[in-house]
Chain A
């Protein structure tokens, strides 16, 4: 009996054909100067025009039904698309979150009207979503959310504040975890619900937060007597905690958890071509071994999700290992360049390396901190 379930998936030529199409598209876009590659592109690099091009080619909404503007493909095909765009450092940040988690959420909990209205726009790369989990008093301690939704005639009235909402300033909707009734004594997991909020409604205020590099891709979002209709409650009233933890498990195992800084390594490989010392060989060998192994783990989970299995422990393990590797990719790419002073680096190398270093702190924070991930693993191991 083995403790961890990571089945190997045999290679599939059809998937490789799709990969080739993506590679040709991304190369052309880059060569034509339509984007400059960046690390952490899925969080910090958003370009609605680029998202629309992806939508036109059928590369958003791969997994859902064509009835709702999707493309009836598998999670593995979606994986190829995400993997290739991450490798290219393409500006996929606008549509990433909606495609990854809010469209599946709507498919599960939305009304027919919402599905017909919103999902085709997401698939077209025109409609974006922000995550509404963290609050000033609820970071790792997510159950401490304090923003309230109060039942009113035909809907809900929302008051409070969310924070660290990436892309909220360009998003059309937020799905927020809100308190719809009081906690039951010490059990704070009850009374929480997920509500979809149209960010153009009166009473919504979005204020950018500038990160340490000067970029403003995340936000504070304030709600003052914002009224949404009844059908904006997604899933069960009071069932928000269970829904959110289930979703987190899915979002923790994707390729963005370990490939976000691959562009830094690859740029270093181009920079070093033919001039690599033996200490760099050793670093490269180890990085590639780590990458290949994590790809196997993440790919195995994508396949299990496709079959309707939700491997929570495995997903938490992938996120912990993957986030460490992401930071390692940047660090070791620097080490490999040790014989080449940075004033001799190509402009791309300098730009990408600097962005990579500056964007590294959130790797081990977002989507659940390393410490929280290890707590989940410890519970699964029977230690808590």
Chain B
């Protein structure tokens, strides 16, 4: 090789005082010339750190869309990662929820004589969907890694409540959009929200005594049976299910459920006796 990096050029290269084009020329040369490469001082620890950072970048998975959204919403990176692994926060769950709601809305629009009944069915169904989300947010059988999770310091009420909140939020948001798109009196769009809140809080409170899927099935099942029976009754009775007095009752019951959940929250830890 005819040309080599002399001491003066090497010093300027080290100092970072060369123009970009000359830096590129020196870079290209030292890659090809072992003698000049050996003369470039390198800090082994820095080099190791740099290579590890490069390797980490290459190996690192891109965050899932959910994790990306959570990070963009201001959650710390580790918290976003923890919540994004929630089984119910998967596209398949949201697709199924959206499909059910879209079907209910479409049926309400196309139905003629039975439109009111269809809308009532929507009101019956909508509060149950967030409960299903909570039931699949943690624990067996939804979370295949539940056993490993249970033995970590993050296990317990904090993780459960983070995950439940993370799944209930999007479910409720989809329900609100579907309700707004449905025909009928304006209050219908919000009539299911308090029952949904009650069922979610009630499920979590009951999960301090029973396994979560059992609690969800019990409360969700009772709601569907009662609401279906009422929705096929006279309009007066239907009003009793979603009217102001009933809504106030749901609110009171939800407050009781939240109090019970707060007092018994440690029982959401799998290592706690029930």
A and B co-occur in one complex: no
Interface residue ranges, B against A (CB under 8 Å): none
Interface residue ranges, A against B (CB under 8 Å): none
